[in-house]
Amino acid sequence: MISVSNVSMRYGAKVLFEEVSTAFTPGKRYGLTGPNGAGKTTFMKIVTGELEPQKGTVVRPRKFGTLSQDQFAFDAYRVIDSVIMGNKRLWKAMEEREKIYAKAEMTDADGMRLGELEGIVGEEDGYSAESDAAILLQGLDIPDELHARAMGELQGGQKVRVLLAQALFGHPQALLLDEPTNHLDLDSIHWLQEFLNNYDGVLIVISHDRHFLNSVCTHIADIDYETIITYTGGYDDMVMAKTQVRSQIESQNAQREKKISQLNEFIARFSAGTRSSQVQSRRKEVERLQVTELARSNIQRPFLKFEPKRPSGKHVLELEGVSKSYGDNEVIRNFTASVIRGEKIALMGRNGAGKTTLLNALLANSPTVPEADLRKTSGSSGPLIDGGKVIWGHEAFVGYFAQDHRPLIEKNLTVFEWLFQWDTTASNEEIRGLLGQMLFARDEANKLTNNLSGGEAARLLFCKLMLQKPNVLVLDEPTNHLDLESINALNIALQRYQGTILLVTHDHDVIDEVATRIWHFEEHKIVDFKGAYEEYQTVSA
C-alpha cells in the first residue's frame, strides 16, 4: 500500500496540490491524470522518494518498480543485466557474489557470506532471473539476439522497452510508471496492457493514451483544482463523473446565489423598520447559504480545425511497385496501391517495420513538401525510394507533420515570425488567433523558437497546418508530446477533416475513430485493408 498524508507542493506562486491525503491499495490500478504542468511527474517523484514534498509524509512499500527516464544510464551493461537490475536487492547480492567467486582464495568469512548471498538470490528467484528477464524482453519485442548486447548498442525506442522490462522485473509490490507507452508500437502496448491487468500489486501510471487508461485502470487519480481527487473507473468514467460533480456544484451555487439575492433585498428594505427579527433570521440564512468556492481548473483545451483551401482531384495518389531497402534489409517490397480523395489511412506495424520509410518515399515526389525537409527529419542521404513510382494527383496539396519535427522549426525566430512566413497574406489577428487556439498566450507569440518544449513545438506545427489549409495530411506520430486534452482535440479534428489522411500513430483510439483504411506492415509486405480498424481486427484474428 502507498499512503500520502497532507502532502503539499508549490513552485513560487503556482500551487500544484495542497494538503493532499490519499491511499493507493494493492490490486487496484490508478491512472494519474491532469494537463501538462499540473504536477503529475512531480507527484510521482514524491511517491518514489526521488523528491521530498514541501509538506506531508509518504509511506511506500520496500520493493517497487519505476520506469527510468535516463536512456543512457545503463549503456555499459548487457541488456539482460539491465533488466535484472530492476530488482535492486537481487542485483546487489549477485554482484557481491561474483566478487567473492573472483578471489584467488576465499576465507571462512567469505564462505559464510556466500551462504547468506545464495539465500538472498534464492529468495528473490535469482536462479531463474535470466529466463524471467528474457520473457519480459520478448513480450516487449526485444529479440533474443539482443539480450547479451550492451545497452549502448540499442536504438532509443529499444532502450525504452528494456527500461520498461526493468521496472516490471522481480515482482515489485508497486509499479510507478511515467508514460510507459511512449515509443511502443501497438502490439507492445497490448502486451503491456495484458501484463498490467494481471498484476496484483499497486499500480500508478501516467499516460496520455486514453485507450490505455480505459483498458488498464480501475481508478483515476486526477490532479486539478490544486488537489487530487480519485474516481472509480477508467479515464472516460472520470471525465463523466468530474463533469457531473462540477455541473452539480455550479447549479447549486446558482440556486444559492438567487436565494441570497432575494434575502439581501429583504434585508435592505426592512433593516431600518419594525421587522428586525425577520431581518436577523434572514442574515443568518445568508451566512448558512454561502456559495461553495470553486477552484480554477488547470485544464486548457486547444481547438483544432483542418480545412482544405480547395479540394484535390478524385485520385489523390498512385503507388506502383514501390520498394525500399537499407543495405541487405528490404523494408518495403513492390507495394502498389491507389488512394482516393477523403480516405483516411492508418499505417500500422511494429517499430522499425517501415512506416516512416514509406511516408518518406511518398513525400519524396510530393509537389509541396521539399525533399530537404525529408532529409532533415529522416537523417538519410541516400535515395528515399529504390524502385517503383509515386504519382500525386491533380491539385494535391500536402501538409506534413514529421515524427522528428524539431529540425523543421527554424531557430532564432519568434513564434509569430516563424508562423507568419507560411502565409504572408495572413493578418496579425489571424496569426494570433491560431496561436491562441493552440494555447499560446498573447506574450508567447514573442517567444523564441529555440526555447519551445516538445508539446509547444507540436502545437506550433498544427498552427502551420491550419494556416496552410492542405487537402492531404501526412502525419507521423502527431500525438507524441501532447496531453490528453490535445490528443482528444486532434482526434475530433481528424474525424471532421474533409481531405485525405495518411497517419502513423500508436494511439489506439485515434486509429479506431479516424481510420477508414489500414496499411499493416508485416515482414516486408503491406496488407492493404479497406475498412476500419475494428473490422480489420475481426478479419485478421
Contact 249, 288 (CB under 8 A): no
Looking from the CA of 246 toward its CB, the CA atoms found within 13 Å total 13
Contact 517, 530 (CB under 8 A): yes
Q: How far apart are CA 215 and CA 189, in angstroms?
A: 11
Q: How far apart are CA 526 and CA 350, in angstroms?
A: 12
pLDDT at 420: 94
Q: What is the total residue count of the chain?
A: 541
Phi, psi angles (nearest 5°) of residue 297: -75, 145
pLDDT at 130: 93
Q: How far apart are CA 158 and CA 164, in angstroms?
A: 10
Collapse the DSSP code of 48 into the 3-class scheme (helix H, G, I; strand E, B; otherwise coil) and give the result: helix
pLDDT at 378: 62
Contact 107, 83 (CB under 8 A): no
All cell numbers assigned to 60: 511506500
The pTM of the whole model exceeds 0.75: yes
Query: How do the pLDDT tens digits run along the chain, 541 residues long?
Result: 899 999 999 888 788 888 999 999 999 999 999 877 788 889 999 999 989 999 999 999 988 888 887 778 899 999 999 999 999 899 999 999 999 988 888 888 988 999 999 999 999 999 999 999 999 999 888 999 999 999 999 877 788 889 989 998 988 899 999 888 887 888 888 888 988 999 899 999 999 899 999 999 999 999 887 889 899 999 999 988 887 776 666 666 677 777 777 777 777 777 766 667 777 777 777 677 665 555 556 667 899 999 999 999 999 999 999 988 887 788 888 999 999 999 999 999 888 888 988 998 898 888 888 776 776 666 566 677 788 899 999 999 999 999 887 788 899 999 999 999 999 999 999 999 999 999 998 889 999 998 888 888 999 999 999 999 999 999 999 998 888 888 999 999 999 999 999 999 989 999 999 999 999 998 778 999 999 999 998 887 6
Q: How far apart are CA 391 and CA 220, in angstroms?
A: 48
All cell numbers assigned to 407: 529540425
- What strands lie across the sheet with 14-24, from one edge to the other? 14-24, 2-11, 55-59
Closest to 494 (Cα-Cα) out of 512, 521, 518: 512
Bridging pattern class, strands 387-392 and 344-348: unpaired
Rg, Å, the chain Cα set: 28
Q: How far apart are CA 303 and CA 306, in angstroms?
A: 10
Q: CATH 3.40.50.300 region(s) of the chain?
A: 315-540
| Other C-beta atoms lying within 10 Å of the C-beta of residue 75 | 14
| DSSP assigned state of 414 | B
pLDDT at 292: 52
Residues ≥6 apart with Cβ < 8 Å to 249: 292, 294
The fold of 315-540 is: Rossmann fold (3.40.50)
Phi, psi angles (nearest 5°) of residue 413: -120, 155
| Continuous H helices in 106-234 | 108-123, 129-139, 156-168, 186-197, 210-216
Q: With the CA atoms of 478, 164, 205 and 456 taken in that order, what torsion angle do they form, in degrees rounded to the nearest 10?
A: -30
| DSSP assigned state of 441 | -
Amino acid present at 367: P
Distance of alpha carbon 452 from the chain centroid: 18
- Would residue 412 be called left, alpha or beta, if left means φ above 0 and alpha means ψ between -120 and 50 degrees? left
All cell numbers assigned to 506: 500508436
Using the Cα atoms of residue 163, residue 169, residue 170 and residue 175 in order, give the sign of their dihedral. positive
Contact 317, 396 (CB under 8 A): yes
Beta bridge partners of 229: 222
- For residue 508, CA distances in Å to 327, 346, 512 come to 33, 11, 6
Q: How far apart are CA 402 and CA 372, in angstroms?
A: 13
Beta bridge partners of 57: 5
All cell numbers assigned to 402: 514529421
Q: How far apart are CA 361 and CA 326, in angstroms?
A: 13
The secondary structure element, H or E, covering residue 410 is none
pLDDT at 283: 73
Closest to 16 (Cα-Cα) out of 228, 178, 177: 228
- For residue 510, CA distances in Å to 149, 210, 237, 346, 505 come to 35, 9, 19, 9, 8
Bridging pattern class, strands 219-224 and 29-33: parallel
| DSSP assigned state of 336 | E
Contact 516, 531 (CB under 8 A): yes
